């Protein structure tokens, strides 16, 4: 293996990249922008739930009840209407997720100490958020009712007691505010790295084939390994620069605590880059045109990795038949490693199985790509 | 018109010759839906629950039973100190701990509001959110039972709440994930299939020949879109049908509206792909741009996984340029809610504007390059 020859291949690759210099802007700036936007977008908290109120009563009591909702910080009042039929439109269009209807005689019943019935209708088309918003609404109304009885008892208006009720006090450990950001950012980091580096390298060899310059390369004294190393190195360097930039954003901008060792994180990222570059190269060797390379990589690698890695959708929720497939996905291991280092501050003593799996994957795919390419180039 | 069709035919022949790409475009989307529709879910079962019961009364046992009977929780440990459950959570052995305060039974029967603490393991915030929803609903049910009993005994109960869920009464997460998946698959296949189509001609040098032909850029762009439009519309309809057959997605609205919404959405997605293709000077750049523009934003900024209402205002503003945002609303309205055009015409209008802008931009960039 001649260092000089590798150097020439690298240089040639960089010149070709510079054919459209915007590529550098894309691969260095786009990940940061994406990370910034997606980092803020990734929140599973249920807040600002748009609610429409049907106030058929328009009394002081109904106003009071409505102010409970608006003052809760969870609900956002979209509109107050008088007729129940108007609700349909709000829920159908999704302008409101929930409708609270207050019956016409509400104020009178409450004043007279008679029971009143409130109705809550929720839009179930976003099941997850709805479930939680319903819990909040019910809880709020029960608290309101309880306060009402206490008041009446205090003023001597009644001696009756209301049935006991339970006040949920939910605490979330490790992530008290349920900040999805802490959980999602490491995953986004892994995914961006995968997209950028494997896309770049998947075009590396197939481009030469498509343009017809691969034959020319074949007649030069360049060895296959030299060609591959020379082709992958620039992308590896780009990947490492991306790792550093993105880590800076995660730690200093988003202030995700890095509880574990930085060097371990960096080392793991290098191993991960081996797998993504190897994957790209492998795709390049099995494709005839860049279009094919792009389709193969998106459909057969990127999308499955995104959905089946546990990055957004928890693996433990998947059916038993699907779970074994996730072991084939390198991103799965890297996501566990990242979350472990970032959030829990654990080291290799806990993460070695994942690290080993990742390394194995990288070595396997690089070997496979090398073998395929030797057949093609011969 | 004839020229447009001629470009369309040429492009179609090119697609047809690349068997592998064609097969991928036709069949992989449906396969994805099958795999992911089956695999993905936010619904949890058998959540490991530990109980720290300080009351040891009938009421506390009833409460624990309510958790088990809900079908979501599995009692894995009965602990007697804080230290014990802390360890269980640290090790990840349990997802939630129910801490019952002393005097629960006494306070409930005398009509007090009793705080019951639940601790949730938050290392996976998505799962934690779901667990929290289940916890709140179980506690709510038990609480309502006590109040109902009290009202039977004749004491005052000022307010009762009746809640109902429309469109998805069992709150199945599949019913809201599948419209999102349909949007996702449609977006990716459209953008990926077209983003190389123009730049490839540039890179190979055949663009010069096209430029010499008596052909306007608008005709050229529309001609390039047509075959992909036909393919992606066909696969999308197949996907929708498959979701109905396999995952029980209902169809409460009109097919005509559904096809209209799909067409506008796909036209916009294809327009985006073509726009990228005219911007880029090499296929590598086009690939990179296409994936970055469609891959994560469609999933995370469309309301598919994360509710838009909870995002910070700046990010909410950004979501307005993500077409999937409108399409998912329209799709859910048609399919789940059976709504008519008056409720979601703004979404359709936004999709139409998006498609028009993207195709116009692509054609303008091209005419500047041809000039």
Q: A67-87, pLDDT tens digit by residue?
A: 888 888 888 899 999 888 888
Q: Flag if A174 and B133 touch (Cβ within 8 Å).
A: no
Q: Which of A362, A142, A342, A148 is nearest to B145 (CA)?
A: A142
Does residue B360 share a domain with residue B292? yes
Does residue A239 share a domain with residue A314? yes
Q: For A350-375, b where at least 16 C-beta lie within 10 A, e where not — what string? A: ebeebbebbbebbeebbebbbebbee
Does residue A234 share a domain with residue A126? no
- Return the residue of B nearest to A199 by Cα: B288
Most distant pair of Cα atoms in chain A: their distance: 101
Q: How far is CA B234 from CA A238, A322, B263, in A?
A: 40, 28, 10
Asked whether B330 and B324 are in contact (CB, 8 A), the reply is no
| pLDDT at residue number A264 | 92
Interface of B with A in 73-102 (CB under 8 A): 89
Q: Flag if B287 and A294 touch (Cβ within 8 Å).
A: yes
Asked whether A245 and A189 are in contact (CB, 8 A), the reply is no
Q: Which of B28, B1, B353 is nearest to B185 (CA)?
A: B28
Does residue B73 share a domain with residue B130? yes
CATH number reported for the structural domain that contains residue B112 in this entry: 3.40.1710.10
Q: Which of B242, B41, B28 is nearest to A302 (CA)?
A: B28
Q: Which of A132, A106, A104, A109 is nearest to A44 (CA)?
A: A132
Distance CA A205, CA A281 (A): 7
Q: Which residue has the higher pLDDT, B88 or A357?
A: A357
| pLDDT at residue number A103 | 87
In order, the DSSP letters of B267-283 are HHHHHHHHHHHHH-SSH
Q: Tokens 């890297």, residue? A: A334
Q: Which of B261, B264, B284, B262 is nearest to B195 (CA)?
A: B284
For residue A174, the 8-state DSSP code is S
Q: What is the pLDDT of residues B292-316, one digit of tens each?
A: 888 888 888 888 888 787 788 888 8
Does residue B362 share a domain with residue B271? yes
% of chain B beyond a pLDDT of 70? 94
**Which residues face B100 on adjacent strands?**
B53
User: Cβ–Cβ contacts within 10 Å for residue A112, how many?
Assistant: 9
Does residue B83 share a domain with residue B19? no
The mean of the pLDDT values for chain A is 82
Q: What residues have CB less than 8 Å from A214, skipping those under 6 apart?
A: A205, A208, A377
Q: What residues have CB less than 8 Å from B291, skipping those under 6 apart?
A: A195, A199, A298, A302, B192
Distance CA A182, CA A85 (A): 43
| pLDDT at residue number A282 | 92
As for how many domains chain A has, the answer is: 2
Structure tokens at A12: 């040639």
Residue finishing a domain among B98, B119, B152? B152
In a domain, A165, yes or no: no
Residue range A188-193: mean pLDDT, rounded: 89
Does residue B63 share a domain with residue B12? no
**pLDDT tops 70 at residue A163:** no
Does residue A124 share a domain with residue A19? no
Does residue B305 share a domain with residue B221? yes
Q: Flag if A128 and B166 touch (Cβ within 8 Å).
A: no
Q: What residues have CB less than 8 Å from B255, skipping those under 6 apart?
A: none
Phi, psi of B122 (to 5 degrees): -100, 15
Does residue A191 share a domain with residue A280? yes
In a domain, A173, yes or no: no
CA dihedral angle for residue B68, residue B73, residue B74, residue B79, rounded to 10 degrees: -90
State pTM to two decimals: 0.80
In a domain, B53, yes or no: yes
Q: How confident is residue A166, by pLDDT bands cut at 50, 70 and 90?
A: low
| pLDDT at residue number A339 | 83
Range with top average pLDDT, A261-265, A340-344, A349-353: A261-265
User: Cβ–Cβ contacts within 10 Å for residue A143, how many?
Assistant: 15
What element of type H or E holds B159? Answer: strand B159-166
Nearest to B126 among A163, A307, A312 (CB): A312
Q: For A277-296, b where at least 16 C-beta lie within 10 A, e where not — what string? A: bbbbbbbbbbbebbbbbbbb
In a domain, B167, yes or no: no
In a domain, A166, yes or no: no
In a domain, A168, yes or no: no
Does residue A282 share a domain with residue A371? yes
Q: Which among B21, B125, B202, B318 is the top mutation candidate for probing chain A, defined by the most A β-carbons within 10 Å of its own β-carbon?
A: B125
Decide: helix, strand or coil at residue A168: strand
Q: Residue A63: is it exposed, middle or buried by C-beta count within 10 angstroms (0-12/13-18/19+)?
A: middle
Q: Flag if A44 and B129 touch (Cβ within 8 Å).
A: yes
Does residue B247 share a domain with residue B112? no
Residue finishing a domain among B152, B186, B205? B152
Binning chain B into helix, strand and coil, the percentages to the nearest 5 are 70, 10, 20
Distance of residue B324 Cα from the nearest chain A Cα, in angstroms: 15
In a domain, B160, yes or no: no
Q: How confident is residue A374, by pLDDT bands cut at 50, 70 and 90?
A: low
In a domain, A171, yes or no: no
In a domain, B158, yes or no: no
Residue finishing a domain among B118, B152, B186? B152
Does residue A198 share a domain with residue A85? no
pLDDT in tens, chain B (371 residues): 788 888 888 888 887 887 777 887 788 887 877 777 777 777 777 888 999 999 899 888 989 998 998 888 989 889 988 888 888 877 778 888 999 989 888 888 877 778 888 888 877 767 777 788 888 888 888 887 877 776 655 555 556 666 676 776 666 777 778 888 899 989 998 998 888 888 888 887 888 887 787 888 888 888 888 888 998 999 899 888 988 888 888 888 889 999 999 999 999 999 999 999 998 888 888 888 898 888 888 888 888 888 787 788 888 898 999 999 999 989 988 888 888 888 888 999 999 999 999 999 988 888 887 76
Q: Which domain holds residue B176?
A: 2-40+172-370
Distance CA A150, CA A162 (A): 9
Interface of B with A in 33-62 (CB under 8 A): 35-36, 38-44
Most distant pair of Cα atoms in chain B: their distance: 91
| pLDDT at residue number A175 | 60
User: Cβ–Cβ contacts within 10 Å for residue B95, how many?
Assistant: 27
**pLDDT tops 50 at residue A157:** yes
In a domain, A296, yes or no: yes
In a domain, B165, yes or no: no
As for how many domains chain B has, the answer is: 2
- Return the residue of B nearest to A178 by Cα: B125
Q: Going by DSSP bridges, is the β-strand pair A116-123/B96-100 parallel, antiparallel, or unpaired?
A: unpaired
Does residue B58 share a domain with residue B29? no
Does residue B364 share a domain with residue B234? yes
Q: Which among B288, B294, B322 is the top mutation candidate for probing chain A, defined by the most A β-carbons within 10 Å of its own β-carbon?
A: B288
Does residue A130 share a domain with residue A31? no
Asked whether A235 and A279 are in contact (CB, 8 A), the reply is no
Q: Which domain holds residue A369?
A: 3-43+179-377
Does residue A106 share a domain with residue A55? yes
In order, the DSSP letters of B291-359 are HHHHHHHHHHSSSSSS-GGGS-HHHHHHHTT-HHHHHHHHHHIIIII---HHHHHHHHHHHHHHHHHHH
Q: Flag if B125 and A313 touch (Cβ within 8 Å).
A: no
Does residue A34 share a domain with residue A63? no
Does residue B307 share a domain with residue B330? yes
For residue A107, the 8-state DSSP code is H
Structure tokens at A97: 């997720």
Distance CA A314, CA A366 (A): 29
In a domain, A159, yes or no: no
Half-sphere exposure of B31 (CA within 13 A, CB side): 11
| pLDDT at residue number A378 | 38
| pLDDT at residue number A109 | 81
In a domain, A164, yes or no: no
Does residue B199 share a domain with residue B106? no
Nearest to A162 among B147, B203, B299 (CB): B147
Half-sphere exposure of B115 (CA within 13 A, CB side): 5
Does residue B9 share a domain with residue B71? no
Distance of residue B58 Cα from the nearest chain A Cα, in angstroms: 15
Does residue A187 share a domain with residue A93? no
| pLDDT at residue number B47 | 87
**pLDDT tops 80 at residue A219:** no
Q: How far is CA A84 from CA A53, A116, A124, B168, in A?
A: 9, 17, 18, 20
Q: How many residues does chain A have?
A: 378
Q: What residues have CB less than 8 Å from A349, skipping those under 6 apart?
A: none
Does residue A58 share a domain with residue A20? no
Angle at A50 between CA A49 and CA A51, to 5 degrees: 110
Half-sphere exposure of A57 (CA within 13 A, CB side): 24
Q: How far is CA A251 from CA A232, A307, B371, in A?
A: 28, 25, 48
Residue B214 touches partner A, C-beta closer than 8 Å: no
% of chain A beyond a pLDDT of 70? 91
Structure tokens at B228: 């992909």
Residue finishing a domain among A86, A121, A154? A154
In a domain, B333, yes or no: yes
Q: Flag if B306 and A149 touch (Cβ within 8 Å).
A: no
Does residue A234 share a domain with residue A145? no
């Amino acid at each position: 293996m001649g260092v000089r020859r590798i150097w020439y291949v690298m240089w040639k690759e960089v010149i070709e990249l510079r054919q459209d210099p915007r590529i550098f802007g894309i691969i260095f700036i786009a990940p940061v922008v994406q990370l910034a936007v997606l980092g803020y977008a990734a929140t599973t908290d249920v807040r600002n739930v748009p609610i429409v109120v049907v106030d058929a009563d328009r009394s002081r009591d109904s106003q009071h009840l409505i102010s409970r909702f608006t003052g809760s910080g969870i609900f956002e009042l979209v509109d107050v209407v008088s007729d129940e039929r108007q609700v349909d439109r709000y829920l159908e269009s999704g302008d409101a997720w929930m409708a609270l209807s207050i019956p016409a005689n509400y104020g009178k019943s409450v004043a007279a100490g008679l029971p009143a019935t409130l109705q809550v209708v929720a839009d179930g088309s976003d099941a997850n958020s709805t479930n939680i918003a319903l819990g909040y609404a019910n809880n709020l109304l029960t608290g309101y009712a309880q306060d009402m009885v206490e008041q009446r008892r205090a003023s001597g208006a009644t001696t009756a007691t209301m049935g006991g009720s339970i006040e949920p006090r939910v605490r979330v450990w490790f992530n008290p505010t349920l900040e999805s950001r802490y959980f999602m950012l490491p995953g986004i980091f892994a995914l961006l790295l995968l997209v950028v580096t494997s896309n770049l390298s998947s075009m590396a060899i197939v481009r030469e084939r498509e343009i017809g310059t691969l034959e020319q390369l074949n007649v030069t004294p360049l060895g296959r390994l030299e060609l591959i190393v020379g082709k992958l190195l620039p992308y590896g360097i780009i990947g490492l620069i991306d790792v550093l930039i993105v880590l800076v954003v995660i730690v200093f901008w988003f202030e995700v605590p890095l509880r574990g060792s930085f060097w371990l994180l960096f080392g793991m990222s290098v191993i991960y880059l081996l797998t993504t570059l190897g994957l790209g190269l492998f795709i390049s060797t099995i494709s005839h045109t860049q279009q094919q390379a792009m389709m193969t990589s998106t459909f057969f690698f990127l999308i499955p990795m995104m959905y089946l890695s546990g990055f957004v959708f928890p693996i433990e929720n998947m059916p038993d038949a699907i779970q074994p497939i996730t072991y084939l996905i390198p991103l799965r291991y890297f996501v566990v490693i990242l979350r472990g280092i970032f959030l829990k501050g654990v080291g290799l003593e806990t993460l070695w199985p994942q690290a080993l799996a990742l390394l194995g994957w990288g070595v396997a795919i690089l070997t496979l790509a090398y073998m395929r390419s030797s057949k093609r180039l011969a | 018109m004839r020229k447009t069709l001629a470009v369309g035919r040429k492009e179609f022949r090119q697609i047809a010759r690349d068997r592998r790409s064609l097969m991928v475009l036709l069949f992989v989307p449906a396969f994805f839906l099958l795999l992911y529709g089956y695999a993905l879910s936010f619904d949890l079962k058998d959540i490991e629950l530990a109980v720290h019961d300080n009351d040891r009364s009938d009421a506390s046992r009833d409460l624990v039973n309510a958790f088990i009977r809900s079908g979501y929780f599995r009692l894995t440990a009965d602990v007697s100190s804080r230290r014990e459950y802390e360890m269980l959570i640290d090790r990840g052995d349990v997802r939630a701990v129910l801490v019952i305060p002393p005097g629960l039974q006494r306070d409930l029967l005398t009509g007090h509001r009793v705080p019951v603490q639940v601790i949730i393991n938050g290392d996976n915030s998505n799962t934690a959110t779901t667990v929290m929803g289940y916890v709140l609903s179980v506690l709510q049910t038990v609480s309502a039972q006590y109040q109902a009993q009290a009202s039977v005994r004749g004491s005052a109960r000022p307010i009762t709440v009746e809640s109902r869920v429309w469109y998805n009464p069992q709150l199945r997460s599949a019913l809201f994930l599948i419209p999102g998946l349909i949007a996702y698959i449609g977006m990716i296949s459209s953008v990926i299939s077209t983003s190389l189509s123009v730049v490839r001609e540039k890179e190979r040098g055949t663009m010069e020949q096209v430029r010499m032909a008596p052909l306007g850029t608008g005709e050229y762009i529309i001609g390039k879109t047509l075959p992909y439009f036909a393919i992606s519309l066909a696969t999308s309809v197949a996907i929708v049908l498959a979701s109905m057959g396999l995952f029980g997605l209902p169809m409460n609205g009109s097919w005509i509206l559904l096809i209209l919404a799909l067409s506008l959405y796909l036209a916009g997605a294809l327009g985006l792909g073509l726009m990228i293709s005219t911007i880029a000077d090499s296929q590598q750049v086009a690939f990179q741009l296409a994936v970055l523009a469609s891959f994560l934003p469609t999933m995370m900024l469309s309301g598919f996984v994360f509710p838009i209402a909870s995002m910070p205002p700046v990010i909410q503003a950004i979501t307005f340029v993500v077409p999937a945002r409108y399409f998912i609303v329209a799709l859910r309205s048609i399919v789940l809610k059976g709504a008519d055009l008056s409720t979601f015409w703004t979404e359709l209008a936004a999709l139409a504007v998006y498609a028009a802008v993207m195709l116009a931009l692509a054609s303008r960039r091209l005419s500047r390059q041809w000039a």
